[in-house]
Amino acid sequence: MHGKLDLDATVVARARELAARAGQPVVDLARSHTTVSVERAVLRLAGVQGADPDGIPWVNRLVDAVRSDVGLGHGVAVPVFHAMAASGVEDVTVLAQKAAAGSVRFALPEKKAELTAARRRARRAATAGLKMIDRRRSERDRLIKRYGDPKQRPWIYLIVATGDIYEDIPQAQAAARAGADVIAVIRSTGQSLLDYVPEGATREGFAGTYATQENFRLMRAALDETSKEVGRYVRLTNYASGLCMPEMATMAGLERLDMMLNDSMYGILFRDINPIRTFVDQRFSRQIHARAGIIINTGEDNYLTTADAVDAAHTVTVSQLLNEYFAHEAGLADWQLGLGHAFEINPEVPESFRLELAHALLARELFPDAPLKWMPPTKHMTGDVFRGNLLDGFFNLAGALTGQGILLVGMMTEAVVTPWLSDRDIALQNVRYVLNGAGNLHEDFVPGEFIRGRANQVLSEAIDLMERIVDDGLLNAIADGTFGIMKRPADRGKGLDGVAKQDADYYNPVTEGLE
């Protein structure tokens, strides 16, 4: 295996083999279960829209009604489309409204002909939703061809988060004009724990803006205008995580988002969402992302906010390898894998920058075709904005030296205030200065024995850990606090009551189309 770190190809192959062995039981679990959010995503693609006067989406009401009458194990598609035929209702949203009012009941077809007809109608409706996602993907391809991609790598990734979508839009457009290639709209605090997706445009988020389909549509339209203005396609990012991961992925595909935060373990570790619920939801959501041509961003950087970035460096590598395996199994290509890592070593540690370079270059060489997402310092930002700006400059230089694909803009006011537009402008100046000055410096960067030795040490420790995970099981490893020192047992956590084992006659027309 050629590269700057002298990684042994046999060792790298061993690491991937172990990741597959550790991940396969979880994939089997995901294939044999469903969740309320998976079933709601199916019905969203089949055409259910809107919410009741209390703001609860009709799709939630419909899935709850089906679940009450026949359970989730059969899937909701057949009971819903059988009820439509039996009741004479032709609009699936109207059916949801009637079900919420108690005027429609659900049952499984008793005759084979009725079952066949219900499956056919469900497949037709779901296929229409998937074709809409296909059209949005083709639309992205046309716009990239028309406006062009950013001329440089890494792409510059910048966050907006006012809580008000109508305030986010001008901030996002200003950031794009100032050089940002990717705009990420941070989600409102706590939304990941809502078991429904809010409806419509929102103006009252907390430390972020609610992720809704209408907010997706508004921001995408605004950035399309700015793409035309600046002469390059500006990408949009949001979150497919939490209790509504499959629905978020579906809405992102329908509204042509370009990236989504989608990590296999983040919700488990940092939001205490049940592990089984998370793994079932993330597989379906990644299948949607694969179909939509969306790049996923994984969350390994979060581990280093709770665990030490030197001692736990190998857990990041393990998570990256697991995320790669789960992504490939769900149909994602390498160019869609924005695997995460972060600049979080304490700057007071001797040789901290060399250690950071070793970790970043290891990720780069393990995943040569993935657009890795490199995260700026947060844990060791002190509130000294001058020191913070310098530390961000070192982060930007590390990204340039190691050929990262997606560079999140660090803010000197991290841990002080929510950044102002002026803070973002200074941070973007920092990025532009370093990237322009460094140019293709990564071509000239030849690591010495210290960096090569550290990278190979981390890889060796990652293999040792994965061997233990293979023996003990990934779910047990998560329960034991292996990642981010968070202990999350498989029989606990939020959302477990929304998981159901698939019955022998389970039918999901969306999964059928995605597989």
- Angle at which helices 36-45 and 58-70 cross, to 10°: 120
Tell me the angle at which helices 313-330 and 449-472 cross, rounded to the nearest 10 degrees. Answer: 60
Single-letter residue type at 231 = G
What whole-number distance in Å separates Cα of residue 480 and Cα of residue 477? 5
Structure tokens of 48? 């259910």
Write the Ramachandran bin of 293: left for phi over 0, alpha for psi from -120 to 50, otherwise beta. Answer: left
Please pick, among 373, 392, 506, 507, the residue that the annotation labels catalytic: 373
Active site residue 303: no
| Whether the bond into 509 is cis, omega within 30 of 0 | no
> Residue 236, SS3?
strand
Catalytic residue from among 157, 239, 266, 507: 266
Cβ neighbors of 387 (< 8 A, separation 6 or more) are none
Buried b (16+ CB within 10 A) or exposed e, 5-36: bebeeeebeebeebbbbbbeebbebbeebbbb
Kindly name the residue from 181, 263, 281, 301 that is annotated as catalytic.
Answer: 301
168 is catalytic: no
Separation of alpha carbons 472 and 1, rounded Å: 30
Other C-beta atoms closer than 10 Å to the C-beta of 101 total: 11
266 annotated active-site: yes
Q: DSSP assignment of 461-493, as one string? A: HHHHHHHHHHHH-HHHHHHTTTTTT----TT-S
Among 186, 198, 181, which residue's Cα sits nearest to residue 161? 186
Catalytic residues: 266, 301, 373
